[in-house]
Amino acid sequence: MNIDLTGRTALVSGSTQGIGRAIAAGLAMAGARTIVNGRSRSRVDAAVRALTDENPGAEFAGVAADLATADGARTVLELFPRIDIVVNNLGIFEARPVLEIDDAEWTRYFEVNVLSAVRLTRQYLPGMMDRRWGRVLFIASDSAVVIPEEMVHYGMTKTALLAVSRGYAKAAAGTGVTVNTVMAGPTHTAGVETFVTDLVGDLPWPEAQRRFMAEHRTNSLLQRLIEPAEIANMVVYLSSDHASATTGGAVRADGGYIDAIIP
């Protein structure tokens, strides 16, 4: 399948590392001019340099902005008024007993994981609809429907993204713009390595991963952590013309973790 995004401009929120970084690389290698985002100018610049070195011929730009704030979203809009592909990837997670999560933490998770995506979509979707082409993607998680006991606040935000995505897809009906959610399964990132170590102890990584999957993610049919590039492959496909009939969907790249035939 030849995916060609030449002439498109893509924005990936929270893309200096992990899944977001892999998505940025995938979109750029498919031909899109890809904007990398993070809060720190130094980290954004470093990520853009590294991605450019690793992906010869791909085009990257960077924007330092805290997208959990309205000011951050406005900064991105001022610098990049036209975006064809928005990937709402920004998210935070941490294990915390649900009875210990206070109001401030609930609010912080909602602002970072949900409102950042709402603001970007609200900014860019109207222009896509006017141009009769666009792609909006939300990176959710198996945790949206299989709420993890150790981080209910995170699961709540991913459930919210399913509703937000479906609602925006309805708003864009008939315009040629598609809006979808990718439900990522347990994925191997630096943050997840720390999370796994916190849960199973400081073990050699192969053993820690096996123990984590066996004890904490028993539903996985893949029986291993997913690599970020595997999530990126789904995003790149959904960003292409080949996925023109897929909208309003919760598309799974979860390693078979969600124990349901229909999402």
Active site residues: 154
Q: 233 near 239, Cβ under 8 Å?
A: no
d(CA 174, CA 160): 24
Q: 25 near 16, Cβ under 8 Å?
A: no
Mapped onto helix, strand or coil, the DSSP state of residue 159 is helix
d(CA 124, CA 132): 13
User: How many helices (DSSP H) and strands (DSSP E) are in the chain?
Assistant: 9, 7
Quote the Cα angle for 10-11-16, to 5°: 125
Q: 253 near 185, Cβ under 8 Å?
A: yes
d(CA 125, CA 88): 12
